[in-house]
C-alpha cells in the first residue's frame, strides 16, 4: 500500500514583527496564503525509516535524519509508540531556499501520510501539535488556505477569504538566512512594538475577495532587512512596479518576491516583464489559496 499526500507551499501576504522575547524569537502577526505549488509525499511500509527525493532542486535536499520529513516520521512514531517503519518518497514542487516553506510542507505531508499508513489515527489537532514541534511553518502546511499566524506564526486562525488571487513569484538562486534577516531587523528597529497585530483592512479585503484592496494592504516588516542583505531584490521590486501589478513585496524573510495580479492577463504581463529584465532566477505564476495537506488518489503503476 502507498499513501500519497500533497501539501502546499506558502507566501506571507502580511508580516508584522514585534520585539524579541526571552526565548530569542520575535513575536509575529502574519497572514499566510497557501499557493498552487506542491510537495508530494508517498509513504510505503518499510522496516526502518528511509527517504528519497526527486523533483525541483532535489539535489539540494538532505535525505538523512536531518530532513524535516524524516524528523516528522520519527516524532510521530515516538508520540504514538509505533515500531513500524516507512519509506518516504518526496517529489518537490515548491522552490527550495525561497522561504516558501517547502520543507515544512514535506513535514506536514509526512505526518499525515505516516498517520494514515500506520493507522495511528491522530486527530487533526494532535497532528497540529506535533507539527508545531517540528517548526513554526509546519502547522500552516497542514491547514493551508489563508490563515493568520501569531506567536512564531504557529498559532493559527483560519481567515475568511473569498475567491482566488493570482500571484507572480520572482525566485532567487540563493536563500537568505532567517536569523540574519531578523538580526538586521533588530538593528533597524531599536524601539519595536511588543505585540504586533494584523491590519483589519487587509482581512476585510480577503473577506470580500478584492485584489485591489488587498494590494493596498500587503505589508512585510522584514522587507527593509531583506533588501539590506540582498539589494538586488530592489531591482525585482522596481520591475514589478513598472507593470500592471497591484503590489509587490518580499515574502516573509525572502528572498522570493510576490507580485499580486488583478487576473491571468496581467499576471502574464508581469511575468514577461520580469523574464525580459532578467532579474530573477525563475518566474512562476501561481494562485492562492490552495488546500492544506490532503490525501490524494493513489497513483498505481499497474493501472493505466
Ligand atoms: O524558525 P527558524 O528555526 O527558521 O528560525 C531561525 C532563527 O530565526 C531563530 O533561531 C531566530 O533567531 C530567528 N527567528 C526569530 N523570530 C521568529 C522566527 C525566527 O527571531 N519568529
List the single range of 13-17, 71-75, 190-194 with lowest mean pLDDT: 190-194
Which atom, in ligand 1's list, is nearest to the CA of 137?
Answer: 1
Look at residue 303 and tell me whether its pLDDT is greater than 80.
Answer: no
Look at residue 298 and tell me whether its pLDDT is greater than 50.
Answer: yes
Q: What is the mean pLDDT of residues 131-146?
A: 97
DSSP string for residues in 16-79? EE-PPPTTSPPPEEEEEEEEEEEEEEEEEEESSEEEEEEETTGGGS--STTSHHHHHHHHHHHH
Q: What is the pLDDT of residue 299?
A: 52
What is the C-alpha separation between 250 and 256, in angstroms, rounded? 6
Look at residue 229 and tell me whether its pLDDT is greater than 50.
Answer: yes
* Residues at CB less than 6 angstroms from ligand 1: 24-26, 28, 135-136, 152, 178-179, 182
What is the model's pTM? 0.95
Which atom, in ligand 1's list, is nearest to the CA of 26?
Answer: 16
Q: What is the mean pLDDT of residues 52-70?
A: 96
For the segment 174-194, what is each residue's pLDDT rounded down to a tens digit? 999 999 999 999 999 999 999
Mean pLDDT, the chain, as a whole number?
96
Residue percentage of the chain with pLDDT more than 90: 96
Calculated CA dihedral for residues 19, 24, 27, 33, nearest 10 degrees: 130
The question of whether 92 is a catalytic residue gets the answer no
Q: Which residue has a Cα nearest atom 15 of ligand 1?
A: 25
Q: What is the mean pLDDT of residues 243-264?
A: 98
Look at residue 301 and tell me whether its pLDDT is greater than 70.
Answer: no
The question of whether 10 is a catalytic residue gets the answer yes
Q: What is the pLDDT of residue 297?
A: 79
Look at residue 304 and tell me whether its pLDDT is greater than 80.
Answer: no
Q: What is the mean pLDDT of residues 64-91?
A: 98
Q: What is the mean pLDDT of residues 27-42?
A: 98
Which atom, in ligand 1's list, is nearest to the CA of 27?
Answer: 21
Our mutation pick for probing the ligand 1 site, out of 27, 155, 178, counting the most ligand atoms within 8 A of Cβ, is 178
Q: What is the mean pLDDT of residues 33-37?
A: 98
Handedness of CA 197, 199, 205, 211 (dihedral sign): negative
Exposure string over 248-261, b if 16+ CB within 10 A, otherwise e: bbbbbbbbbbbbbb
Residues 209-216: contacts with CB under 8 Å, at least 24 apart: 209/161, 209/162, 209/163, 211/165, 211/166, 211/246, 211/260, 211/261, 211/262, 211/263, 212/246, 212/262, 214/13, 214/165, 214/246, 214/247, 214/260, 215/245, 215/246, 215/247, 215/260, 216/246, 216/247
Q: Which residue has a Cα nearest atom 14 of ligand 1?
A: 25
Amino acid at each position: 500500500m502507498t499513501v500519497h499526500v500533497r501539501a502546499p507551499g506558502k507566501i506571507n501576504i502580511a508580516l508584522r514583527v514585534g520585539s524579541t522575547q526571552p526565548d530569542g524569537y520575535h513575536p509575529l502577526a502574519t497572514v499566510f496564503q497557501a499557493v498552487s505549488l506542491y510537495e508530494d509525499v508517498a509513504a510505503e511500509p518499510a522496516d526502518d525509516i528511509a527517504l528519497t527525493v526527486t523533483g525541483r532542486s532535489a539535489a539540494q535536499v538532505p535525505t538523512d535524519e536531518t530532513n524535516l520529513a524524516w524528523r516528522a516520521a520519527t516524532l510521530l512514531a515516538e508520540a504514538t509508540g509505533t515500531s513500524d517503519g516507512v519509506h518516504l518518497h518526496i517529489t518537490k514542487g515548491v522552490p527550495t531556499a525561497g522561504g516558501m516553506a517547502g520543507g515544512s510542507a514535506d513535514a506536514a505531508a509526512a505526518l499525515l501520510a505516516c498517520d494514515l499508513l500506520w493507522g495511528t489515527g491522530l486527530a487533526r489537532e494532535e497532528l497540529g501539535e506535533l507539527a508545531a514541534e517540528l517548526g513554526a511553518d509546519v502547522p500552516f502546511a497542514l491547514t493551508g488556505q489563508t490563515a493568520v499566524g501569531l506567536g512564531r506564526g504557529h498559532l493559527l486562525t483560519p481567515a475568511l477569504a473569498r475567491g482566488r488571487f493570482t500571484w507572480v513569484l520572482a525566485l532567487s538562486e540563493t536563500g537568505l538566512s532567517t536569523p540574519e534577516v531578523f538580526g538586521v531587523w533588530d538593528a533597524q528597529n531599536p524601539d519595536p512594538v511588543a505585540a504586533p497585530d494584523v491590519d483589519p483592512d487587509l482581512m476585510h479585503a480577503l473577506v470580500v475577495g478584492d485584489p485591489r484592496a488587498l494590494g493596498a494592504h500587503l505589508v512585510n516588516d522584514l522587507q527593509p532587512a531583506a533588501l539590506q542583505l540582498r539589494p538586488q531584490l530592489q531591482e525585482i521590486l522596481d520591475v514589478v512596479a513598472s507593470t500592471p501589478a497591484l503590489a509587490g513585496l518580499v515574502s516573509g524573510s525572502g528572498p522570493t518576491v510576490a507580485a499580486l495580479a488583478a487576473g491571468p492577463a496581467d499576471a502574464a504581463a508581469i511575468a514577461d516583464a520580469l523574464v525580459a529584465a532578467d532579474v530573477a532566477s525563475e518566474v512562476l505564476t501561481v494562485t492562492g489559496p490552495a488546500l492544506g495537506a490532503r490525501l490524494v488518489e493513489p497513483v498505481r503503476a499497474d493501472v493505466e
